Amino acid sequence: MIAHIIPIKRVQKHITFFDYLVPEALTQDIRIGQLVSIPLRNTVIFGIVFSLSKKPEKQEYEVKEIAAIIHSIPLVSRQYLHIIRILSAWYGLAMGTFLLLALLPMQKRKLQSITLKNIPPYKKKEKPFGKLLDHFSYENKKEHGEKLQKLCKKQTLILVPKKSLMPEVFASLTKEQQKYTAFWHSDLTKKEQFSTWLKIRNGEVDNIIGTRSAILLPFFSLKHIVIDYEYDEQHKHWDQTPRFYTKDIALLIQQIYNTPITYSGYSVSLAEFARGTIPQKTKETPTIIDMRSQRSNHNYSVFSTTVEEAITTTEDDVFLFLNRRGYATSYGCRDCGFTFSCTSCNLPFIYHEKSNTLQCHYCKTSASIVFTCPKCASSVVKLKGAGTELVETQVRNSLPEKHNHAIVRIDADVNDTTYTDEKKPRILIGTEKALPFIRWNKTQHIVFIHIDQQLVIPEFSAQTHMWHMIQDVLYRKKPTSSFYIQTMNPEHILFQSLADPIRFYTHENTLRKRFNYPPHTYITRYFYGHQNAQKAKDEAEKVYHILNQTLTKAQKDIILERPYDMHPKYYRGKYWFCIIARMNNTTWKNDLIWLNRYIPRLWRIDPHPISLLSP
Ligand SMILES: [Zn+2]
Ligand SMILES: [Zn+2]
Ligand SMILES: [Zn+2]
């Protein structure tokens, strides 16, 4: 008998499994899903039995024997292996590498002593009475908690986008539910990972609250998947391979087990809107401050007079939000907020200093600089957002000499929180990194200082991203605190729709449809970096042509875009180029596997990306 074994080891992506001979003495005991030890070169490693077959008549190469079966009860089920096989094909990883991420840390001595319970037999459940895919919106924390309690049917997985949200989800469960709840996130120690993984594997916990990697845990009797804050981009594992998106994996699990999925949130993702969910009307809207009138009144500070007064008079916390900087430079009018955009991609141009031109990275359209604004005839300039440092200086200048506040700055480079006195009121200046540090119950003023910079980022999701951030603040802020948004462009559809969300969603959805962006298409991006810019470009062109020829021959419903340089172009020592494939929403699951086969080994595979520009 031959066993096809997945080595639990980082291996090259084309390796699926290795063949091993099952020794005569083990043929009665060997099962699919078992953990075994196998000799590999000069060592012995762990592996999982993927499948079994008869010994071929003629063996062309020498096959080694399995060393031992570690547990007689299989560690994982066939269905679990089936899921892993599909995921490794979607995300361009060997199954072994994937298992290394998804299985419990393989500590030899511990493994020998654990007890595995039998895996309940696989049964695809009858279609549930309710909807397979549901959505609920909550208006406040109380409603959020009550609904979560009801949704927790043993066993339930609740996914949250950030670790910092786990305590509040936990707190909303009943005492009884809390008793049988486990947490899963990337900061668990190896020891905690081991015991939690095993408890979940053995079906000993009822509820699991986790961040995105929790979707890879071995669930054998999952009754419900809840994806909370479903609109949040952090449900995507975007920064390293495998670049998976929890919603895609949840839907795959659903296909196999008929597990109901509930999306929930205060805000609603555009994909959910397109599926028929109506965003709720908010009771309250932020105060929009028109910065143009500040400028015409000769106030050139980063703060409007209202905001300056609010900051200098309060005894409580203040949060000043800024976008992350250095993302992309755009060109526009500082007086009316006009920016130049590419008409075929519907995304803002990026200003290129060297050639002094405006360019669309995606379709290569370029335009020369115009010096007067087509809208208001003012002069046009390079738009630069203020950094947290500049804002800090301005805050210090505005505050009276003797003030009570601690000034705290949090962005990609700085995090001052550890040095500050907990009792002092704070002025927190920060990018999105600062959000978990806001003390909502003590915060009197929330100010988005320079929101326009975010709205001209050439990403299809820039507008919705900002929309959800505003909604997040509305959900979290205490009812008596004020929320200001400073903008040069108060006519922008986003601000105009704050009291009428459907207007914003309809507008955005129409554009996404017209320009073929998600959720109306399934995008996968493939990108490649090289120390030499020309070599990176040549490789991208070469791969594009090969893929295109292959596509034409196979007549697949996939649209490939020409390679473009990413932004920043030079990142982590390499120049980056990207190719986008647009797939059909109903066939992407197979098309992705098909197309990935033609992607060279050193390319990055990023299905369902949250950014098209940044490597
Ligand atoms: Zn203008
Ligand atoms: Zn374009
Ligand atoms: Zn560029």
CATH code of residue 189:
3.40.50.300
CA of 350 to the centre of ligand 2 (A): 10
The pairing of strands 366-368 and 261-265 is unpaired
User: pLDDT tens digits, residue range 140-192?
Assistant: 889 999 999 999 888 999 999 999 999 999 999 999 999 999 999 999 998 89
Q: Which ligand is nearest to the CA of 569?
A: 3
CA of 289 to the centre of ligand 1 (A): 17
Which range of residues forms the domain containing residue 29? 2-113
Q: Which of 485, 509, 533 is the last residue of a domain?
A: 509
- 193 contacts: CB under 8 Å, gap ≥ 6: 104, 105
Q: Is residue 275 domain-resident?
A: no
Helices and strands in the chain, H and E counts? 18, 27
Q: Which ligand is nearest to the CA of 376?
A: 1
Same domain, 107 and 139: no
ipTM: 0.79
CA of 382 to the centre of ligand 3 (A): 14
CA of 333 to the centre of ligand 1 (A): 5
Res 385: pLDDT: 63
Residue 510 predicted with pLDDT over 80: yes
HEC assignment per residue over 487-531: ECCCCCHHHHCCCCHHHHHHHHHHHHHHCCCCCCCEEEEEEEEEC
HSE-up of residue 253 (Cα within 13 Å, Cβ side): 25
Same domain, 145 and 68: no
Same domain, 310 and 410: yes
Nearest Cα to 450, choosing from 320, 567, 299?
A: 320
Q: Which ligand is nearest to the CA of 344?
A: 2
Same domain, 151 and 184: yes
Q: What is the C-alpha to C-alpha distance for residues 512 and 525, in angstroms, rounded to an integer?
A: 17
Give 490 or 388, the one with higher predicted confidence.
Answer: 490
Residue 513 predicted with pLDDT over 80: yes
Same domain, 392 and 529: no
Res 325: pLDDT: 56
> Residue 352 — pLDDT band, cuts 50, 70, 90?
confident
Mutual orientation of helices 533-554 and 588-596 as an angle, nearest 10°?
130
CA of 372 to the centre of ligand 1 (A): 8
Nearest Cα to 482, choosing from 323, 282, 314?
A: 314
- How many C-beta atoms lie closer than 10 Å to residue 331's C-beta? 22
Contact (Cβ atoms closer than 8 angstroms) between residue 342 and residue 363: yes
Residue 417 predicted with pLDDT over 80: no
Q: Is residue 187 domain-resident?
A: yes
Residue 419 predicted with pLDDT over 80: no
CA of 361 to the centre of ligand 3 (A): 7
CATH at residue 550: 3.30.70.2920
CA of 360 to the centre of ligand 3 (A): 8
Residue 367 predicted with pLDDT over 90: no
Contact (Cβ atoms closer than 8 angstroms) between residue 156 and residue 284: no
Q: Which of 466, 483, 509 is the last residue of a domain?
A: 509
Q: Which of 461, 485, 509 is the last residue of a domain?
A: 509
User: What is the identity of the amino acid at 10?
Assistant: R
CA of 11 to the centre of ligand 2 (A): 39
Q: Which ligand is nearest to the CA of 561?
A: 2
> Residue 371 — pLDDT band, cuts 50, 70, 90?
confident
Token duo for residue 533: 């810019």
Token duo for residue 366: 């370029």
Q: Is residue 278 domain-resident?
A: no
CA of 491 to the centre of ligand 1 (A): 13
Residue 355 predicted with pLDDT over 90: no
Give 464 or 346, the one with higher predicted confidence.
Answer: 464
CA of 339 to the centre of ligand 1 (A): 8
Q: Is residue 281 domain-resident?
A: no
Residue 535 predicted with pLDDT over 60: yes
- 370 contacts: CB under 8 Å, gap ≥ 6: 340, 380
CA of 349 to the centre of ligand 3 (A): 9
CA of 373 to the centre of ligand 2 (A): 21
Same domain, 181 and 252: yes
CA of 347 to the centre of ligand 3 (A): 14
Same domain, 146 and 239: yes
Mean pLDDT score, 21-36: 95
CA of 575 to the centre of ligand 3 (A): 11
CA of 449 to the centre of ligand 3 (A): 26
Q: Is residue 495 domain-resident?
A: yes
Residue 423 predicted with pLDDT over 90: no
Q: What is the C-alpha to C-alpha distance for residues 112 and 288, in angstroms, rounded to an integer?
A: 63
Res 386: pLDDT: 67
User: pLDDT tens digits, residue range 473-507?
Assistant: 999 999 999 999 999 889 899 999 999 999 999 99
Rounded to 5 degrees, what are φ and ψ at 535? -65, -40
For 339, which DSSP code?
B
CA of 373 to the centre of ligand 1 (A): 5
Res 568: pLDDT: 80
Res 328: pLDDT: 52
Least-confidence region, from 303-312, 397-406, 415-424, 476-485: 415-424
Same domain, 303 and 451: yes
Q: What is the C-alpha to C-alpha distance for residues 262 and 249, in angstroms, rounded to an integer?
A: 14
CA of 456 to the centre of ligand 2 (A): 14
Rounded to 5 degrees, what are φ and ψ at 287? -85, 120
Q: Which ligand is nearest to the CA of 374?
A: 1
Same domain, 228 and 175: yes
The reply to whether omega before 178 is within 30° of 0 (cis) is no
Token duo for residue 398: 């505005």
> Residue 301 — pLDDT band, cuts 50, 70, 90?
confident
User: pLDDT tens digits, residue range 196-212?
Assistant: 999 999 999 999 999 99
CA of 574 to the centre of ligand 3 (A): 14
Res 470: pLDDT: 95
Residue 50 predicted with pLDDT over 90: yes
User: What is the tally of structural domains in the chain?
Assistant: 4
CA of 535 to the centre of ligand 3 (A): 17
CA of 211 to the centre of ligand 1 (A): 44
Contact (Cβ atoms closer than 8 angstroms) between residue 270 and residue 505: yes
Q: Is residue 541 domain-resident?
A: yes
CATH at residue 471: 3.40.50
Q: Is residue 121 domain-resident?
A: no
Same domain, 316 and 439: yes
Residue 344 predicted with pLDDT over 90: no
Same domain, 495 and 543: no
Q: Which ligand is nearest to the CA of 488?
A: 1
CA of 55 to the centre of ligand 3 (A): 57
Residue 358 predicted with pLDDT over 80: yes
Q: Is residue 533 domain-resident?
A: yes
CA of 351 to the centre of ligand 1 (A): 17
Res 278: pLDDT: 94
Helix (H, G, I), strand (E, B) or coil at 438: coil
CA of 362 to the centre of ligand 2 (A): 5
Same domain, 45 and 176: no
For 114, which DSSP code?
-
CATH at residue 68: 3.40.1440.60
Nearest Cα to 174, choosing from 154, 149, 153?
A: 149
When the pLDDT of each residue in the chain is averaged and rounded to a whole number, the result is 90
